[in-house]
Amino acid sequence: MDASEFRRRGKEMVDYVADYMEGIEGRQVYPDVEPGYLRPLIPTTAPQEPDTFEDIINDVEKIIMPGAASPACTELETVMMDWLGKMLQLPEAFLAGNAGEGGGVIQGSASEATLVALLAARTKVTRRLQAASPGLTQATIMEKLVAYSSDQAHSSVERAGLIGGVKLKAIPSDGKFAMRASALQEALERDKAAGLIPFFVVATLGTTSCCSFDNLLEVGPICIKEDVWLHIDAAYAGSAFICPEFRPLLNGVEFADSFNFNPHKWLLVNFDCSAMWVKKRTDLTGAFKLDPVYLKHSHQDSGLITDYRHWQLPLGRRFRSLKMWFVFRMYGIKGLQAYIRKHVQLSHEFESLVQQDPRFEICAEVTLGLVCFRLKGSNKLTEALLERINNAKKIHLVPCHLRDKFVLRFAICSRTVESAHVQLAWEHIRGLATELLKAEKE
């Protein structure tokens, strides 16, 4: 949607809201629909080609408004998470469908998803151990619980461990910054021998620093064998898996208990919208369920409905699935795939520009929209370049450390980015590098 269509549609929406407010007394306080009403009204998958805006807005009045905030908010979320799960070719077990044991939920951020998964895993292992040895206290168990992630995992994983009150150990990644079987197995054996209890592994697909991928096909079977909860954090990279050519990066997801990525990062859905799936919804609800009278309702034991308040940390919820519904329909799957592909192509364009300049080096494999690069030589040199880049305020780069190297990260992430912007940014960086190297020589 370009700016001129945005003006038109935006103003129509303002009128829609105003009309709603003016006519609100004519609407029913409580909806007539029954739980489960929404799914049959909506296709089972996202459209390949874009729908028109008229079609979408007509469906809001026809499908959403009769379901009011509840149950429409919950039911659209379940169906949209199924749509998205199918776009990613997630295993059937992660989908809610009509009677599945799994399903998806929108969280606010990947940090929350990791924490929710860790807490659910903590409850599950605690109950299992207490069932086997009824005398065990929760504290005795918690003292021995260990969670694992790669040394490249996001800091929010460490934070989840802190909050959950359990140890978190970093598994040394390999030369391509990936967690592999041998390092994980070694840590598990050492900890079990020391009387500790491994219970949770976070595998990262697309690390923050360099977009590296843990080896799911190696890590997954270990988690199955050891009866350890496997959570996959694909916060950034997950969006790319809607393209068949990137889907192999997700192979091994079938070994996971929970999977999460952020459509708000790279799938054109505005912040916040973090998509999380679990294979067994009772693992989440078992950890968080409390049912006071003022939150009871007549349908809660019917199996027809989903009480998302048991799937998350906050109690209140927003109608975030509307954003997904609009975006998926306005772009169509093909439009979203084209968007991802364009970004990946632009990052390879930047990569090849860097490679053509012998003063620079690429520091990690470029798979998606992130290029890690640096000036050859000391870290001080690249640090000085970053200072010049960020002081010039024409582009903004965020650095990282890869082992002992200080590295710049060039990320393709704007909705409107074009090749011209990439070229301009590179010319700018090159120019500043030339100035810097000249100044260094003097």
User: Nearer to a second copy by C-beta: 30 or 438?
Assistant: 30
Compute the least distance from the CB of residue 84 to a second copy, in Å. 19
Compute the least distance from the CB of residue 92 to a second copy, in Å. 30
Compute the least distance from the CB of residue 78 to a second copy, in Å. 21
Compute the least distance from the CB of residue 217 to a second copy, in Å. 27
User: Nearer to a second copy by C-beta: 7 or 376?
Assistant: 7
CA–CA gap between residue 400 and residue 241 (Å, rounded): 25
User: Nearer to a second copy by C-beta: 133 or 356?
Assistant: 133
User: Nearer to a second copy by C-beta: 108 or 220?
Assistant: 108
Compute the least distance from the CB of residue 21 to a second copy, in Å. 5
Q: Taking the C-alpha atoms of 127, 129, 130 and 132 in order, what is their torsion angle to the nearest 10 degrees?
A: 120
User: Nearer to a second copy by C-beta: 217 or 315?
Assistant: 315
Q: Dig out the tokens for 44 from the structure.
A: 């089972």
Compute the least distance from the CB of residue 25 to a second copy, in Å. 9
CB 412 within 8 A of CB 350: yes
User: Nearer to a second copy by C-beta: 151 or 254?
Assistant: 151
User: Nearer to a second copy by C-beta: 90 or 120?
Assistant: 120
Task: Tell how strand 360-362 and strand 274-278 pair up.
Answer: unpaired
Compute the least distance from the CB of residue 401 to a second copy, in Å. 5
Compute the least distance from the CB of residue 277 to a second copy, in Å. 19
- Contact residues toward a second copy (CB under 8 A) are 3-4, 6-7, 10-11, 13-15, 17-18, 21-22, 24, 28-30, 32, 108-112, 115, 119, 122, 137-140, 142-143, 154-156, 158-159, 162-165, 208-209, 264, 271-272, 287-288, 290-295, 313-316, 318, 390, 393-396, 398-401, 409, 416
User: Nearer to a second copy by C-beta: 27 or 62?
Assistant: 27
